[in-house]
């Protein structure tokens, strides 16, 4: 995860381009607009003769056979992380958390999420359990480890071939319908609406399963457009998975009125390059590291103006949160008193 200024700078530029043109990179079945997953014939290329059936262990210490128990006949979302990563992995995990929330009760019922450690020598179940608890992940999401040689075989077969360097693993999710042999990769930084739409389309019957209230286009991948709220796109892409605005601390601190609590110049510097401030032992940065040791703010590498737009957006949302809270308080005060319970003679 080195050269994050390049990674995030490039990502933000790409996000802006997507927002302008309203398009995203075609996925396997989208190269032909007329094609649908339901029209594709199942393939066994990534079946039992290809994917390893080696033992893996989840964050709760339960052992599974990788193919038989976790992949066979299932629809899955897979990414690769390691718990000691303090740069990009927490963001990838946080974005997966947003995806899990967007998919709702589908996760654990219709689709399963697996985060596979690429550092199994250090990521034992206890370590992964602590990592998963930090993000407050829901049911249907397993963090997997195992013998290094077994994990190496699994990740190689799944296309994660970054070699021995932990810092060079890819920032992608792998989506698959193992029953049909449909597999493809998508960036972890793609819009979560787009990812969720493609996850739903893993089911070849997804159109017929849409409720009468929803139309197929409502759950299909959506296009992104520019907004009249500068800072919104950056907040949703890089902040929402770890922070709340008025909802209390989460993976990171609550950002409610953060501009009133901290100096604007300090905030701008921290947003653009937090790791350098930590290395320099900045007192406020070290205070945050002590309070939130599991995840550290990465170097976002965004221009100063983008950081200022982000802070302005957070403050505007903080004001709206105050207004909502005040409105709810007034409504509560105006509510008629509850009637005393009726006594039976």
* Each residue's pLDDT expressed in tens, for the chain with a length of 345 residues: 433 333 334 444 444 433 333 333 344 434 333 334 444 454 556 778 899 999 999 999 999 999 999 999 999 999 998 888 766 777 788 889 989 999 999 999 999 999 999 999 999 999 999 999 988 899 999 999 999 999 999 999 998 877 655 556 678 899 999 998 899 899 888 888 899 999 998 888 775 555 544 555 555 554 444 456 788 888 877 787 778 888 888 778 889 999 999 999 999 999 888 888 888 999 999 998 888 876 777 777 788 898 899 999 899 999 998 888 888 888 888 867 666 666 655
Query: Is residue 7 situated within a structural domain?
Result: no
Label the pairing between strands 55-57 and 63-65. antiparallel
Q: Are residues 134 and 190 in the same domain?
A: yes
CA pair distance 168, 162, nearest whole angstrom: 6
Q: What local confidence, expressed as pLDDT, does residue 62 receive?
A: 97
- Count: domains in the chain: 2
CATH of the domain at 194: 3.40.30.10
- Phi, psi dihedral angles at 172 (to 5 degrees): -130, 160
* Rg (the chain; Cα; Å): 22
Q: At what angle do helices 88-103 and 125-135 cross, to 10 degrees?
A: 60
Query: Is residue 44 situated within a structural domain?
Result: yes
Q: Are residues 119 and 265 in the same domain?
A: no
Label the pairing between strands 112-117 and 75-81. parallel
Q: What local confidence, expressed as pLDDT, does residue 291 receive?
A: 85
Looking at 219, 251, 272, the residue that finishes a domain is 219
Q: What local confidence, expressed as pLDDT, does residue 340 receive?
A: 64
Q: Kindly state the tokens that stand for 207.
A: 């159109």
Residue 317 has, within 13 A of its CA and on its CB side, a CA count of 22
The pTM assigned to this predicted structure is 0.65
Q: What local confidence, expressed as pLDDT, does residue 31 receive?
A: 38
Q: Are residues 66 and 173 in the same domain?
A: yes
Q: Are residues 248 and 205 in the same domain?
A: no
151 CB contacts (<8 Å, ≥6 apart)? Answer: 56, 116, 117, 118, 120, 145
Alpha-carbon torsion, ordered 164, 166, 167, 170, to 10 deg? 90
Q: Are residues 168 and 51 in the same domain?
A: yes
70 CB contacts (<8 Å, ≥6 apart)? Answer: 56, 64, 76, 112, 114, 142, 144
Q: Are residues 187 and 247 in the same domain?
A: no
Q: Are residues 199 and 248 in the same domain?
A: no
Q: What local confidence, expressed as pLDDT, does residue 215 receive?
A: 53
Q: Are residues 39 and 83 in the same domain?
A: yes
Q: Are residues 37 and 113 in the same domain?
A: yes
> Nearest-CA neighbor of 139 among 171, 116, 113, 178?
113
Under a CB-based contact definition with an 8 Å cutoff, are residues 53 and 46 in contact? no
Q: At what angle do helices 304-334 and 264-279 cross, to 10 degrees?
A: 120
Residue 254's domain spans which residues?
232-332
Query: Is residue 278 situated within a structural domain?
Result: yes
Q: Are residues 165 and 69 in the same domain?
A: yes
CATH of the domain at 327: 1.10.760.10
Under a CB-based contact definition with an 8 Å cutoff, are residues 234 and 310 in contact? yes
Q: Are residues 29 and 149 in the same domain?
A: yes
Q: Which position has the token pair 């520019």? A: 226
Q: Are residues 209 and 324 in the same domain?
A: no
Looking at 219, 251, 279, the residue that finishes a domain is 219
Looking at 188, 219, 250, the residue that finishes a domain is 219
Q: What local confidence, expressed as pLDDT, does residue 333 receive?
A: 82
């Amino acid at each position: 995860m080195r050269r994050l200024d390049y990674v995030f700078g490039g990502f933000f530029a790409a996000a802006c381009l997507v927002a302008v043109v309203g398009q995203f990179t075609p996925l396997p079945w989208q190269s032909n607009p007329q094609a649908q997953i339901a029209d594709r014939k199942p393939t066994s290329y990534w079946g039992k003769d290809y994917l390893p059936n080696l033992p893996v262990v989840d964050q709760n210490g339960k052992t599974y056979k990788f193919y038989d128990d976790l992949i066979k006949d299932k629809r899955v979302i897979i990414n690769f992380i390691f718990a000691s990563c303090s740069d990009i992995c927490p963001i990838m995990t946080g974005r997966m958390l947003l995806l899990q929330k967007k998919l709702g009760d589908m996760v654990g019922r219709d689709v399963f999420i697996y985060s596979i450690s690429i550092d199994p020598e250090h990521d034992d179940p206890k370590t992964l359990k602590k990592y998963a608890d930090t993000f407050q992940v829901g049911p249907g999401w397993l963090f997997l480890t195992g013998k290094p040689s077994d994990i190496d075989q699994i990740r190689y077969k799944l296309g994660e071939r970054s070699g021995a360097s932990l810092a060079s693993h890819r920032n992608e999710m792998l989506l698959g319908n193992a029953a049909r042999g449909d597999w493809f990769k998508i960036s972890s930084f793609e819009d979560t609406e787009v990812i969720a739409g493609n996850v739903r389309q893993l089911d070849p019957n997804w159109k017929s399963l849409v409720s009468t209230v929803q139309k197929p286009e409502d759950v299909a991948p959506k296009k992104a457009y520019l907004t009249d709220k500068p800072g919104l796109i950056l907040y949703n892409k890089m902040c929402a998975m770890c922070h709340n605005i008025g909802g209390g601390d989460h993976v990171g601190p609550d950002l409610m009125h953060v501009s009133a609590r901290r100096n604007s110049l300090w905030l701008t510097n921290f947003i653009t390059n937090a790791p350098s401030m930590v290395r320099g032992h900045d007192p406020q940065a070290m205070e945050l590291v002590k309070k939130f040791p599991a995840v550290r703010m990465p170097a976002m590498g965004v221009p100063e103006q983008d950081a200022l737009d982000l802070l302005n957006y957070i403050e505007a949302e903080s004001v709206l949160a105050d207004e909502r809270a005040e409105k709810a308080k007034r409504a509560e005060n105006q509510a008629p008193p509850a009637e005393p319970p009726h006594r039976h003679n």
